[in-house]
């Protein structure tokens, strides 16, 4: 897997915006809800450990979902989500730090801040239980990991290749997300998780990210070693009324029939 291909223009635009964001004032200190514990508890309860993502829009989404993010989040938890991911990138994903705060106050499950955080001071934008650190975009991953942990955050380090997995593990990551979406073509391939996860140490919590839409996808990623499954588009489709059913269809994947998915 070549991760040296040029980034998609949309990703370059996201990074440029991230670099230009104003530095937050103050410094946060959080007592996080454990993501690994929440994923394990869901699995023990017979639910596929889904991290459902509140993503109003994205570079690969047609249109935008302007439903109340708190209503969406509550619907995801109602559908059995073990944890939530909330986009806080405003320009390309329609997210905000205010949305994450409102969602985190409304639910009891761990909430991941999904954003493009490039420097330690950007961590102070909002309290969350977990922050996303994208290995490819960080020159000092150990430093960002340390800065996140100093503030109390858990860190989900996102990788796309085996080399990035090794970098994440060497940096001390204990929660690793393998993004099935390549950031050059924005295409998803579930083979990515299967290939990269095979190299992961047993003591790392592994999350399969992107491109999951069916119970068979969930079962495939779990069979390949996923401790968590991060799903946005397939759950967000259809608005609040549909979100609970969309989530439940995936969280019940390990208790439904492979053939009928019912």
Ligand X SMILES: O=C(O)c1ccccc1NCC(=O)[C@H](O)[C@H](O)COP(=O)(O)O
Binding stretches for ligand X (CB under 6 A): 10-11, 53, 55, 58-60, 179, 181, 183, 186, 188, 209-212, 230-234
Q: Which residues in 109-252 belong to E strands, given as ranges?
A: 111-114, 130-134, 154-159, 175-179, 205-209, 228-231
Q: What angle do CA 105, 127, 144 make, to 5 degrees?
A: 150
**Minimal distance in Å, beta carbon 150 to ligand X?**
25
Q: Which residues in the chain belong to E strands, given as ranges?
A: 50-54, 83-87, 111-114, 130-134, 154-159, 175-179, 205-209, 228-231
Question: Measured from the CB atom, is 1 or 10 closer to ligand X?
Answer: 10
User: Which residue bears the tokens 């806080």?
Assistant: 88
Question: Measured from the CB atom, is 136 or 152 closer to ligand X?
Answer: 136
Question: Measured from the CB atom, is 154 or 180 closer to ligand X?
Answer: 180
**Minimal distance in Å, beta carbon 155 to ligand X?**
15
3-class DSSP state of 170: helix
Contact 230, 208 (CB under 8 A): yes
Question: Measured from the CB atom, is 152 or 233 closer to ligand X?
Answer: 233
Phi-psi domain of 16 (left: phi exceeds 0; alpha: psi -120 through 50; beta: other) = alpha
Tell me the CA distances in angstroms from 166 to 120, 135, 147, 174, one per residue in order.
Answer: 22, 10, 20, 12
**Minimal distance in Å, beta carbon 54 to ligand X?**
10
Q: Per the structure block, which two tokens stand in for 116?
A: 């493009």
Question: Measured from the CB atom, is 42 or 183 closer to ligand X?
Answer: 183
Q: Per the structure block, which two tokens stand in for 21?
A: 């964001």
Q: Per the structure block, which two tokens stand in for 103?
A: 């969602």
User: Which residue bears the tokens 């200190």?
Assistant: 29
**Minimal distance in Å, beta carbon 27 to ligand X?**
27
Question: Measured from the CB atom, is 19 or 152 closer to ligand X?
Answer: 19
Give the distance, in angstroms, between the CA of residue 134 and the centroid of all CA atoms in the same chain.
11
**Minimal distance in Å, beta carbon 67 to ligand X?**
16
Q: Per the structure block, which two tokens stand in for 166?
A: 């090794």
**Minimal distance in Å, beta carbon 85 to ligand X?**
7
Question: Measured from the CB atom, is 72 or 212 closer to ligand X?
Answer: 212
**Minimal distance in Å, beta carbon 195 to ligand X?**
17
Q: Which residues in 212-261 belong to E strands, given as ranges?
A: 228-231
């Amino acid at each position: 897997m070549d991760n040296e291909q040029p980034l998609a223009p949309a990703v370059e635009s996201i990074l440029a915006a991230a670099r230009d964001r104003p530095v937050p004032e103050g410094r946060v200190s959080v007592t996080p809800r454990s993501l690994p514990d929440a994923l394990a508890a869901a699995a023990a309860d017979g639910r596929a450990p889904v991290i459902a993502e509140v993503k109003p829009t994205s570079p690969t989404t047609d249109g935008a979902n302007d439903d109340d993010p708190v209503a969406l989040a509550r619907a995801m938890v109602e559908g059995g989500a073990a944890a939530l991911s909330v986009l806080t990138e405003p320009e390309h994903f329609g997210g905000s730090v205010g949305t994450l705060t409102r969602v985190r106050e409304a639910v009891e499950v761990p909430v991941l801040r999904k954003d493009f955080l490039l420097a330690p001071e950007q961590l102070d934008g909002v309290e969350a239980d977990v922050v996303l650190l994208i290995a490819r975009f960080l020159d000092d991953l150990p430093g960002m990991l340390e800065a996140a942990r100093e503030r109390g955050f858990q860190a989900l380090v996102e990788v796309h290749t085996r080399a990035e997995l090794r970098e994440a593990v060497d940096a001390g990551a204990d929660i690793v997300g393998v993004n099935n979406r390549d950031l050059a073509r924005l295409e998803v391939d579930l083979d990515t998780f299967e290939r990269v996860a095979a190299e992961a140490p047993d003591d790392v919590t592994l999350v399969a990210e992107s491109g999951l839409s069916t119970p068979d996808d969930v079962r495939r990623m779990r069979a390949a070693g996923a401790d968590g499954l991060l799903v946005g588009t397939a759950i967000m489709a259809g608005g609040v009324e549909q979100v609970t059913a969309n989530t439940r269809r995936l969280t019940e994947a390990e208790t439904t029939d492979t053939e009928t998915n019912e």
